[in-house]
Structure 1
């Protein structure tokens, strides 16, 4: 499928390709998995998401990556580094979204740590953020487990969003 970007003990993170459409749609069509996003996505919106991600690879050499179980190859979700504007400044976000069947296994934290390490050691990035809806406690816990702390509240897409950050 896509090219492997990095790995961790249990996970392989690779570049997203159009063949990932059905797997991503499993997450994007799930109202529970998408609870903190503006809405679920249909097939065309998921295809646009892949296009946007591939554009980020071209423009910034970073983006969301597909997360798979290293041993089985099973699709678990997506996690990666995404450029985000915060108060007029471009910062690198660690973003993550996993299918519900993968929740509760530590995969998201492991993938986020792998992204931190990759960004630091291969891209010379030393500051990372995560933008999290304030009542999304599972995402806040992931951010805290990778060493992020609450920085401030901002307004993004007409919603209040918490900025969690870490400086390495």
Structure 2
């Protein structure tokens, strides 16, 4: 599924030509504060390569998000992640600041959950969130994810929310 859309967003499979938009997104300190910090352009280039390889290996991954008028809005997707030594599959979403507070994260989280559970037939999905990121926690709760546990991931206090088939 290289492309899909929601009411307000168009998602397209992450490609090399999304690099400039991702670099700008990852250089914003407010956007990046819950992503482990600002990423240098070289780190974002490596991040892009890893996520393109994820698509090749698994047949799903991250999508670049655009508004209906074509403006880059952020990124979101479904990907494998190692948490506490367990291979989990998470939904992830990050938006440019100008798109915060409009319900887009909830819209994309619900779409990703439907894709993951129904189309990909995955047994469960997680959302991995910094403990203090209240807005993202609310997004997962609205999408019917249930708080499962707290843990440490890459040195940060996080919570894991889960939804099952």
State the TM-score, normalizing by the size of structure 2. 0.93
Which residue is 1:38 aligned to?
A: 36
Q: Which moved more, 1:5-14 or 1:98-107?
A: 5-14
TM-superposed CA distance for 1:86, in Å, is 2.6
Q: Alpha carbon RMSD of aligned pairs, Å?
A: 1.4
TM-superposed CA distance for 1:36, in Å, is 1.5
TM-superposed CA distance for 1:33, in Å, is 0.8
Q: Unpaired segments of 5 or more residues in structure 1? A: none
Q: Show CA shifts across 1:51-110 (max 9, x none).
A: 0110110111121111111x2121110110011123332121001111001111111111
Which residue is 1:132 aligned to?
A: 129
TM-superposed CA distance for 1:4, in Å, is 3.9
Which residue is 1:82 aligned to?
A: 79
State the TM-score, normalizing by the size of structure 1. 0.92
Task: Say yes or no: does 1:163 pair with 2:160.
Answer: yes
Q: Unpaired segments of 5 or more residues in structure 2? A: none
Which residue is 1:98 aligned to?
A: 95
Which residue is 2:119 aligned to?
A: 122
Which residue is 1:9 aligned to?
A: 7
Alignment size in residue pairs: 165
